[in-house]
Amino acid sequence: MIAVAIAAALPTTGLGTQAFTLAMELKEDIAAAADRVASNWITDFTAPGVRLREAAGTGSAIVGHGNPGDGLTTHQKVIGEPVRCPDGTTNSEWFEITNARTSAKGFASACHLG
């Protein structure tokens, strides 16, 4: 909203366009930083036998498993196949992770990480 107000107040060429472009880039950078911070809060599996997959979907090959207490490292968050979570909600967020105990690396639904 601030970027739109700034761009509207300034001419549409030159400085106004440049300010709008910078504001949109800043918005994207802030969103990416928020995703990285959220990823750092995920440190373990919340259920036994969580499947790690080659890609972010239940049809992808299983490359490992995770259990509470294994610990994990997150690498990135991606949008993948929507999954029904144990609490009844649907979530399409998946994380590429490495199981700290087994070193298995793959994608797991956010429904089973915490």
pLDDT, tens digit, 9 for 90 and up, residues 52-76: 999 999 999 999 999 999 999 999 9
Question: What's the chain's length in residues?
Answer: 114
pTM reported for the whole predicted model: 0.67
pLDDT at 49: 97
**Sheet hosting strand 62-66, strand order edge to edge:** 62-66, 50-53, 105-109, 90-99, 72-84
CA distance to 11, 30, 89, per residue, from 97 (Å): 47, 22, 22
Residue linked to tokens 């087994």 = 102
